[in-house]
């Protein structure tokens, strides 16, 4: 087998071994690649350079194979639309496993299987699974290559769609490989296959995948095995699998935090800068808040990240956050010039991959909620679509994958490996009732309680029912790589071991509360800047709040509502702490906490007791 760097993979010959001429001196990578090639039997091995020529080759190859449609370059230059298999459109939480050595370490919120058993099972799935395909080797780094300790990974995949998407989402390719060689760096091995080998003469399909899917993390080994899906969250292994599940385990061991959080920079009219991190479950508004266009005059938001934050205590005792990613993998429907103008500007530059949105007759993309509804389009399923169609043009979890560098409001600090000191952490979810627009925690332990009891209605970002309220601690339910009881303890410990005055203040937000008619009480999007302003003013000791049983809630007058199209009653309803609604939460929280048995920090029981007492139970 030849290994080709940069040359068209389809041109390279087959046969012999993958290791005949691997273009790396890194022994660890060489031997792992050799071993995987031996097992999976690809026709060829391609070491990814990450350069433009490779992008061109691979995107053209994907066009030729029918996976990609090239978009009209006048509308979206160098951009492509992929239509997935209709069964492979979201993360598969029921197929996601934390295979710790000890079952106890996976905890009650994760699927677990013995690592030996899982490996035996998956080794059989992987055996010969790349036959007829190219095996791509993608060296990547999450976070900065210039970081004090760069966080390397190598993804092996048989999907060119994954390679192209990884190039957008992570720093990858030759420069990363060179650095790994120079330092003989350790790395997270991340193995991915769509699980659809091609027998000689067998025609490929446009979106190969397998009904059998496994998304597996081996936390002690820091390794990832993924099989059967091509969807982003299941297949771009640097993102959810590494930067959250594996990194959360590293963070526990090393005393930092790997969180499902956006990072934004907020500048007041007086030029005072604050940095905010916010954790919302998938499809609950992270990307939108990260790129918010403030409606409050004089305030400015700049973006650092939209999905993941790695946070470490700096020399000055403050909590510094970096975004380990290099692109956005955003939910398309609902994104438009009004709700998220900065996302629109980012994708309009091009160099993007869209998955499961509609194709207009003039070669552009369209989705529900976007302006200029077309009279006719090709739906995500490839069918004729018109505004009268019963079906949606785009899958609710359809995505755009676009380079972060194209974001017009990218904060310059994005390129600083040191990160930015976080002033406020927001937790939030989708709740029709109960949860006020914004509540400030009394202290770190109370904030940890808010995070640990965070609840949200399920969304289309994962397979399964949509709209069901579930606990989603710190918006990390599908992403905590270990026992969630230990994770809560880790949060509590961070508060105890560091100077509380220097840690971020914690808030709980809900943009999704409804009125009796089912409409959103709060207009959301750019108007969320009013809440950010209140948060900053609380930190600076300027804004008033009402002390309620659940925390500090704005007095209606303390929230800047100038120019806001909302009645006093609506505002009051958005901010209301309804004691009866909260009392109804208590048994749910109790049941949730009981899941963790002795592993739940007692501080959280104390917080719950305090809440019950304040509610007058
Ligand atoms: N009502 C309302 N919807 C929002 C708000 N922010 C985001 N959304 C919608 O929620 C969905 C997911 O948003 P997104 O920012 O992509 O979520 P992420 O997956 O957490 O990054 C999109 O359909 C958005 O239009 C908001 O403030 N109010
Ligand atoms: C990237 C994903 O999540 P989010 O909706 O948080 O962006 C995902 O669900 O695969
Ligand atoms: Mn997002």
9 pLDDT exceeds 90? no
The pLDDT value recorded for residue 617 is 64
Q: Whose CA is nearest to atom 11 of ligand 1?
A: 283
Work out the number of other CB atoms within 10 angstroms of the CB of residue 360.
22
Q: Is-contact 153 141, C-beta < 8 A?
A: yes
The strand order across the sheet containing 377-378 reads 365-366, 358-360, 377-378, 384-385
Go through 368-393 and write b for each residue having 16 or more CB atoms within 10 A of its CB, e for each that does not.
bebeeebeebbbbbeeebeeeeeebb
Average pLDDT over residues 200-225: 98
Q: What domains does the chain contain, in order, with CATH numbers? A: 17-65+91-254 (3.40.449.10), 257-326+412-615 (3.90.228.20), 328-406 (2.170.8.10)
16 pLDDT exceeds 70? no
Q: State pLDDT tens for residues 337-364.
A: 999 999 999 999 999 999 999 999 999 9
Average pLDDT over residues 489-498: 97
Q: Which residues contact residue 198 at a Cβ distance below 8 angstroms, ignoring those fewer than 6 apart?
A: 131, 132, 133, 204
The pLDDT value recorded for residue 521 is 97
Q: Which residues contact residue 208 at a Cβ distance below 8 angstroms, ignoring those fewer than 6 apart?
A: 159, 194, 195, 196, 230
| Residue carrying structure tokens 């904060």 | 411
The pLDDT value recorded for residue 492 is 98
Q: Is-contact 306 317, C-beta < 8 A?
A: no
Average pLDDT over residues 93-102: 98
Higher pLDDT, 398 or 461: 398
104 pLDDT exceeds 50? yes
Any bridge partners for residue 546, and if so which? Answer: 553
Q: State pLDDT tens for residues 17-64.
A: 444 577 899 999 999 999 999 999 999 999 999 999 999 999 999 999
Atom of ligand 2 nearest to the CA of 239: 1
Q: State pLDDT tens for residues 514-562.
A: 999 999 999 999 999 999 999 999 999 999 999 999 999 999 999 999 9
Q: Whose CA is nearest to atom 18 of ligand 1?
A: 283
Phi first, then psi, for residue 40 (nearest 5°) are -95, -15
For helices 160-169 and 52-64, give the axis angle rounded to 10 degrees. 140
Q: How confident is the model at residue 390 (pLDDT cuts 50, 70, 90)?
A: very high
132 pLDDT exceeds 60? yes
Go through 123-140 and write b for each residue having 16 or more CB atoms within 10 A of its CB, e for each that does not.
eebbeebbbbbbbbbbbb
From the CA of 285, the nearest ligand is: 1
Average pLDDT over residues 453-477: 92
**Model's pTM, two decimal places?**
0.95
| Residue carrying structure tokens 């309680």 | 449
Say how many Å lie between the CA of residue 235 and the centre of ligand 2.
Answer: 12
- How far apart (Å, rounded) are the C-alpha atoms in residues 596 and 601? 9
Complex prediction ipTM:
0.97
DSSP3 helix / strand / coil % (the chain, rounded to 5): 30, 25, 45
* CA nearest neighbour of 482 among 216, 310, 248: 248
Atom of ligand 2 nearest to the CA of 459: 5
Q: Is-contact 244 151, C-beta < 8 A?
A: no
Strands 505-509 and 96-98: unpaired
The pLDDT value recorded for residue 534 is 98
Average pLDDT score over the chain: 95
Q: Does residue 492 line the site of ligand 2, with CB under 6 A?
A: no
The pLDDT value recorded for residue 459 is 87
Q: Whose CA is nearest to atom 15 of ligand 1?
A: 285
């Amino acid at each position: 087998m030849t290994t080709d760097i940069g040359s068209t993979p389809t041109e390279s010959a087959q046969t012999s071994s993958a290791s005949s001429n691997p273009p790396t001196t890194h022994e660890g990578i060489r031997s792992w690649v050799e071993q995987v090639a031996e097992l999976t039997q690809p026709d060829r091995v391609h070491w990814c350079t990450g350069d433009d020529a490779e992008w061109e080759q691979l995107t053209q190859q994907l066009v030729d194979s029918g996976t990609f449609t090239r978009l009209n370059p006048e509308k979206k230059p160098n951009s492509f639309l992929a239509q997935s298999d209709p069964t492979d459109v979201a993360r598969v939480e029921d197929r996601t496993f934390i295979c710790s050595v000890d079952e106890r370490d996976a905890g009650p919120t994760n699927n677990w299987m013995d690592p030996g058993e899982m490996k035996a099972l998956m080794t059989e799935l992987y055996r010969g699974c790349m036959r007829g395909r190219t095996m791509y080797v993608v060296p990547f780094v999450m976070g900065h290559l210039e970081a004090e300790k760069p966080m390397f990974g190598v993804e092996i995949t048989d999907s060119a769609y994954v390679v192209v998407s990884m190039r957008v989402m992570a720093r990858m390719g030759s420069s990363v490989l060179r650095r790994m060689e120079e330092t003989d760096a350790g790395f997270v091995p991340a193995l991915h296959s769509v699980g659809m080998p091609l027998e000689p003469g067998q025609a490929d399909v446009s979106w190969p995948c397998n009904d059998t899917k496994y998304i597996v993390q081996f936390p002690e080994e820091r390794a990832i095995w993924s099989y059967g899906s091509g969807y982003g969250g299941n297949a771009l292994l640097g993102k959810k699998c590494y930067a959250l599940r594996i990194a959360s385990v590293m963070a526990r061991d090393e005393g930092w935090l790997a969180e499902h959080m956006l990072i934004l920079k907020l500048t007041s009219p007086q030029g005072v800068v604050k940095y905010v991190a916010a954790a919302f479950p998938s499809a609950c508004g992270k990307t939108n808040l990260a790129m918010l266009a403030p409606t409050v005059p004089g305030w400015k938001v700049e973006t650092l990240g939209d999905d993941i934050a790695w946070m470490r205590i700096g020399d000055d005792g403050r909590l510094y956050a970096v975004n380990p990613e290099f692109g956005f993998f955003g939910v398309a429907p609902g994104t438009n010039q009004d709700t998220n103008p900065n996302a629109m500007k980012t994708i309009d530059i091009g160099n993007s991959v869209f998955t499961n949105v509609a194709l207009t007759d003039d070669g552009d993309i369209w989705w529900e909620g976007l302006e200029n509804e077309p009279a006719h389009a090709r739906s995500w399923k490839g069918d004729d679509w018109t505004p009268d169609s019963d079906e949606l043009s785009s899958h609710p979890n359809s995505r755009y994958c676009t380079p972060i560098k194209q974001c017009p409001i990218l904060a310059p600090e994005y390129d600083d490996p040191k990160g930015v000191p976080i002033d406020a952490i927001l937790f939030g979810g989708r709740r029709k009732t109960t949860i006020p627009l914004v509540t400030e925690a009394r202290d770190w332990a109370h904030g940890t309680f808010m995070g640990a009891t965070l609840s949200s209605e399920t969304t289309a970002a994962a397979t399964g029912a949509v709209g069901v309220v579930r606990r989603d601690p710190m918006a990390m339910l599908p992403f905590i790589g270990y026992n969630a009881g230990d994770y809560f303890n880790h949060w509590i410990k961070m508060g105890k071991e560091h100077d509380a005055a220097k840690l971020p203040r914690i808030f709980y937000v809900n943009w999704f509360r409804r009125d009796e008619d089912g409409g959103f009480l709060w207009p959301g999007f750019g108007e969320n800047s009013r809440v950010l302003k209140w948060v900053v003013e609380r930190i600076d000791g300027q804004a008033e709040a009402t002390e309620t049983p659940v925390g500090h809630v704005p007095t209606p007058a303390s929230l800047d509502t100038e120019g806001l199209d909302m009645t006093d009653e609506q505002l009051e309803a958005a901010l209301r702490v309804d004691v009866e609604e909260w009392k109804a939460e208590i048994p749910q929280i109790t049941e949730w906490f009981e899941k963790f048995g002795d592993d739940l920090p007692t501080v959280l029981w104390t917080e719950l007791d305090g809440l019950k007492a304040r509610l007058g139970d």
